[in-house]
Amino acid sequence: MSGWVSACKLDEIEQEGVKRFDHAGKTYAVYRSASDEVFCTDGLCTHEAVHLADGLVMDYDIECPKHSGVFDIRTGAAKSPPACKNLGSYAAKLEGGVVMVQVG
């Protein structure tokens, strides 16, 4: 696994929000919970490769904007059809107001 990389500043993501992050040719989704926890998953829905950054975050769920499939932002687990394949999940942490993710 590669090292930690800076994804964005925490204040660039609304509480219960999501931001797209591109790194090394891959798209990720970075999330901020209502209590300022941060998470990171693959950025494209496993059903039809739609950008999850355009979706809706509710509690610990992200809803895909195209067909309303739901994933758990903490684990990437698919929770509601048509999403049936889990997203990849990546470690995320805060350092001095910056969201850092471990991608590889």
What residue segments make up the domains of the chain, in order of their start? 4-102
**Digit-coded pLDDT (tens) for 23-80:** 999 999 999 999 999 999 999 999 988 999 999 999 999 999 999 999 999 999 999 9
Superfamily name with CATH number, domain 4-102: Rieske [2Fe-2S] iron-sulphur domain (2.102.10.10)
Q: Report pTM.
A: 0.94
8-state DSSP, 50: -
